[in-house]
Chain A
Amino acid sequence: MENLELFEGSLEVEKITNGWYDKYKNSNYGAIITFIGVVRDENKIDGLSFDIYEPILNNWFNSWQEKAKELKAIVLMAHSRGDVFNHESSYIAAVCSPKRRIALELIDEFVEDFKAQAPIWKYDIINGDRIYAEDRSTAIKGYGLLS
């Protein structure tokens, strides 16, 4: 699962994105698009904190890798677990594709589907407390099966 990397705490953005670029720049991908998520200072938070359920995240990521492969592209992702403070990065996604248009469309779909389906839970860090970000969370497709 080398194209999906999980880290404790904030992401070392330059190291991760430079690493991806160095690894794939000679693979004849004409377009490499990187999306970097940065924690905003808002709602009096000191930062965000994350729980991840890895087995289902791996399945989700693998299905995206298969989808990208059909388009001769690849997807890459890095995410934090635990605490990430304001103005640091918790999430990086990237697409490498021979074609620009495919890369642009795929990064959009990949990031949006990540938001809606990836088994990651977000908490606001406020005065040292960890508060579930319920109002910004999305129920996973098929929710309510036991209701």
Chain B
Amino acid sequence: MVNFSAVAKRYPGGQEALKDVSFSIEAGELVFLTGRSGAGKSTLLKLIPAIERPTSGSVIVNGQNVASLKRGAIPYLRRNIGLVFQDQKLLYDRSVYENVMLPLAFSSHAPREAARRARAALDKVGLAGRENANPIQLSGGEQQRVAIARAVVNRPSILIADEPTANLDADSAARVLDIFVAFRQVGVTVLIATHDLALVERYAGRILHLEQGRVA
């Protein structure tokens, strides 16, 4: 599903974020990417949807080498990857429902089908009643769940989350992780970056530990 081989990433200015990273994730796996902040977790996650390109090595996602993907092909790659960001990146000028509808707008679904999918996604993250709320009215945990609903509404085969529980209290964090695990159970490959090892231990996931840009 996801295959890194000998991946290095050097940022302009010489900072080396990743050095010779190789690993493989099978379809339907749950993987926790751990490590201290600055270990290269975010960089690694950004390579998968081609937000960043590797300096060397290859990143294979769904059989495609992302490292050499043409600019025009990137949107189609991203539609098959659900992305959840640490800062959610919700749009506060529109309702929860419209936020979740956003990815459906550019994959040209019929309006009725799009509405059905958006409701289903909100239902799965337990926000069925909050459709018309503005994200700003929601708690941090609820906002993160809206972000998850937006990430899964296109039914991606891979779900990637960067520190999704970083700003949440223990209860909300557990609830958010439960939702990710539930998606894994229906066959979605889930990759979550976190520095919260205590939380990770409660789930039966594989751990990929990064230390100073290397897989330890």
Is A bound to B? no
Chain B positions within 8 Å of A, measured between CB atoms, are none
Chain A positions within 8 Å of B, measured between CB atoms, are none
